Amino acid sequence: MDYAATLLAKLPGASRRNYGMRQLVETLESYLPPDQIRTVMRAYEFGATAHDGQKRQSGEPYISHPVAVAQELADMHLDAQAIAAAILHDVVEDTEASIKDIEAEFGAEVAALVDGVSKLDQIQFRSRAEAQAESFRKMMLAMIEDIRVILVKLADRLHNMQTLDAMPAKKKARIARETLDIYAPIANRLGINRFKVELEDLGFRHLYPLRYRVLDKALRRSKGNQRQIVKKISEEFEKTLAAEGIDADVIGREKHLFSVYRKMLEKKRLLSDVVDVYGFRIIVDDVNDCYKVLGLVHGLYKPMPGRFKDYIAIPRINGYQSLHTTLFGPKGQPLEVQIRTRHMDRVAESGVASHWQYKAEEKTDATPQRRARDWLANLAELQRSGTSEEFLESVKVDLFPDKIYVFTPKGDIKPMPKGSTTIDFAYAVHTDIGNRCVAAKIDRRLVPLRTELQNGQTVEIITARGARPNPNWLAFVRTAKARTAIRNHMKTMRSSESVDLGKRLLDRSLKDLDSSLRKVGKVRMKAAIDELDLNTNEDLFEQIGLGERLAPLTARLLLGENQKGESDADTASLVIAGTEGMVVSYARCCHPIPGDNVMGYLSSGRGVVIHRNKCGNLSVFRKQPEKWIAVSWEKEIDREFSSQIHVDTQNKPGVLAEIAATIADSGSNIEQVSVLGRHEDCSVLSFLLQVKNRQHLAQILRSVRKMPNVIRVVRDCA
């Protein structure tokens, strides 16, 4: 029965035209039962009616686009719900139809798929970047629920890229950049090589049109000669394999343009060096044959040392499996050979979609499906990080597949992005392991935590109870998971510390008014919380600790006194011990240390910033006396603080090394050295040091001042 002809006859006006539906139905008939095809046809009727009269930028009727998207998914043998969602994916955004209409007509499953793909045009965003990031976040979260969302979106993006010529140049470049940054890497991450290759080439063509034309022309020129060489080598492979009784397909591969361009860029090679590499794919029936074929091709042509990769034993992160080897071909030409089974070849081209036609219980064991689910679980964890822009950046970092493989002490394989450190590995094992990490061993040897991992290493993480992530780790971690986990812990820790600091500040301000938190009582506290439109006491303490609300004014509010009074700056409102964490920080303009006369400034969102009383920047703060807070140091403080000194020296060889040695001998670490000025006879050096207090700093200054080549040494004061 010709379902397309029957349906098209019923449609009104211009919608009766084919728009690719006949080809789509022929594809669907090859793998779907008639009742499911009827569902797709109803979706087409709904979509064609909703889009009636709408045209694309190219002038074609709009419905031709969703049908083309559905065709891409039908070629991958996706189910009827995904095909219907592909046809309907733009109706919510571009027509009067709503998600509720789709749900009523086609069910919750199709409606959820359409909703996941739809953009967020109904919400007002502060910027285009925020809108794009939030739209991407919504799509990725829907993808976590149902991976078909991203398959529809990838097919949608592919057809948009195929028809991008009608767009203005600026818009073309923006869409092409987004495709190369986001959608092609997602296709690669999910193992869908067919989408990845075409998205990359189309993105390259529209982002760098001149480079694309030059490379395209050069490749076309070289193809004639290449075909003869590829044909000759393919016949040689086929003859050798047939002689051993191995049934195999030998395919000469053509390099796609973007891979040629990227190789030239990354390896800084000439076009001729990249173009003259010939690629072959040998497809066999089972894994044993893969390794037999490897031995045969190595017997036929000598392999290049260090160019063999076994992705069958250790699959890539997206589930891809194959043997890769590079041979010295005729006249020394490099031959790149991939050897895989037919099943692996299907997975390589279609990734997670390669198992769609199988039953659910079989599908769960498929490698690409399992790896995709692991990645999606990671995305679910990432999405809890702050803003949509942060999420987008985190996922972009996670998408690029330049991977290394390292081992746990038990021999389990962990794929990691190239450049990952031991901290990234710790978080890859488990978030709690990363949070409690204190040291690491690589191949049984202790190494610094920032050490980059190399292929094949065995990594062991040493943890300690009570250990916490170090904010400095953010400077060198590579993976999105590690970065997100550290940030989340810092936010939680900062919240806890700000609550503690705020409580202390408020209690001190109440004591200055001959009261205390205990005397205020629960009833008055509850009334003040309601008056300030807060939920809990902790919310109030946190705002005070972060400097968003002033403790003296809040104390007067609690006691029902006039709030216009100023705090008494002579009263020591806060005693600092150097252990308050992130809500008490030390100004970099004057580097206060224990023993200095200091004051605190309540900075909104940062808590209390400690300055020396002599700091030049205090003139700015004097305009806001209500934000000052008197502070004093605890007597015994067991930690080090940063301090800066300036040293005028004679221009003689080795002076810098002599001063550094003297400082080290005084029990101080040098954080940073810079040259502030250099004249014919003398230089001015700046040292940022770690010191315990003013006495420790004075000892260092005395030791440096005694040196023969030192003219003058002073402590820096802003």
Residue type, 365: D
| Active-site entry in 79, 94, 381, 658 | 94
> Confidence band (pLDDT; 50, 70, 90) for 580?
low
pLDDT of residue 223: 66
Residues 543 and 680 in one domain: no
Domain that holds residue 704: 641-715
pLDDT of residue 293: 93
Interval 621-643: pLDDT, tens: 666 766 777 788 888 887 889 99
Q: Is the dihedral of CA 635, 636, 641, 646 positive or negative?
A: positive
Bridge-partner residues for 585, per DSSP? 609
Residues 657 and 609 in one domain: no
Residues 549 and 623 in one domain: yes
Residue 136 maps to a domain:
yes
Whole-number average pLDDT of the chain: 80
Residues 7 and 74 in one domain: yes
Residues 98 and 12 in one domain: yes
End position of a domain, from candidates 139, 162, 185: 162
Residues 39 and 123 in one domain: yes
| Total-model pTM | 0.56
pLDDT of residue 121: 41
Residue 105 maps to a domain:
yes
Q: Do residues 113 and 82 lie in contact, with contact meaning Cβ atoms separated by under 8 Å?
A: yes
Residue 109 maps to a domain:
yes
**Collapsed DSSP state (helix, strand, coil) of residue 341:** strand
Choice between 59 and 152, residue whose per-residue pLDDT is larger:
152
- The two structure tokens encoding residue 465: 């109870």
Position 86 pLDDT exceeds 50: yes
Instruction: Quote the distance between the C-alpha of residue 292 and its chain's center.
Output: 40
Q: What is the 3-state secondary structure (H, E, C) of 611-655?
A: EECCCCCHHHHCCCHHHEEEEEECCCCCCCEEEEEEEEEECCCCH
Instruction: Name the pairing type of β-strands 574-576 and 628-633.
Output: parallel
Position 231 pLDDT exceeds 90: no
Residue 86 maps to a domain:
yes
Structural domain count of the chain: 3
Mean pLDDT (whole number) for 104-114 = 90
pLDDT of residue 10: 55
End position of a domain, from candidates 633, 667, 693: 633
pLDDT of residue 691: 92
Which residue, among 316, 338, 359, has the nearest Cα to 191 in the 3D structure?
A: 316
pLDDT of residue 137: 64
Residue 586 maps to a domain:
yes
> Confidence band (pLDDT; 50, 70, 90) for 459?
very high
CA distance readout (Å), 484 to 309, 349, 448, 488: 32, 32, 21, 6
Interval 16-66: pLDDT, tens: 455 678 888 888 988 888 889 889 989 998 988 888 888 888 778 888 899
Q: In whole angstroms, what is the distance from residue 144 CA to residue 149 CA?
A: 9
Residues 541 and 667 in one domain: no
Buried b (16+ CB within 10 A) or exposed e, 270-295: ebeebbebbbbbbbbeebebbebbbe
CATH number at residue 107: 1.10.3210.10
Interval 538-568: pLDDT, tens: 888 887 776 667 777 788 778 875 444 444 4
Phi, psi of 184 (to 5 degrees): -65, -45
Interval 417-433: pLDDT, tens: 888 999 999 998 988 99
DSSP run (H or E) holding 586: strand 584-586
pLDDT of residue 659: 92
Instruction: Tell me if residue 94 is catalytic.
Output: yes
Residue 169 maps to a domain:
no
Position 678 pLDDT exceeds 70: yes
Interval 272-292: pLDDT, tens: 666 556 789 999 999 999 999
Residues 598 and 660 in one domain: no
Q: Is the dihedral of CA 365, 366, 371, 374 positive or negative?
A: negative
Residues 625 and 677 in one domain: no
Residue 607 maps to a domain:
yes
Residues 152 and 16 in one domain: yes
Residues 44 and 108 in one domain: yes
Position 649 pLDDT exceeds 60: yes
Residue type, 567: S
Mean pLDDT (whole number) for 497-506 = 79
Instruction: Quote the distance between the C-alpha of residue 577 and its chain's center.
Output: 37
| Active-site entry in 93, 538, 539, 640 | 93
End position of a domain, from candidates 146, 162, 178: 162
585: CB partners within 8 A, 6+ apart: 606, 607, 608, 609, 610
The fraction of the chain above a pLDDT of 90, given in percent, is 22
Residues 498 and 625 in one domain: yes
pLDDT of residue 15: 45
pLDDT of residue 567: 41
Choice between 604 and 288, residue whose per-residue pLDDT is larger:
288
Instruction: Tell me if residue 93 is catalytic.
Output: yes
Residue 23 maps to a domain:
yes
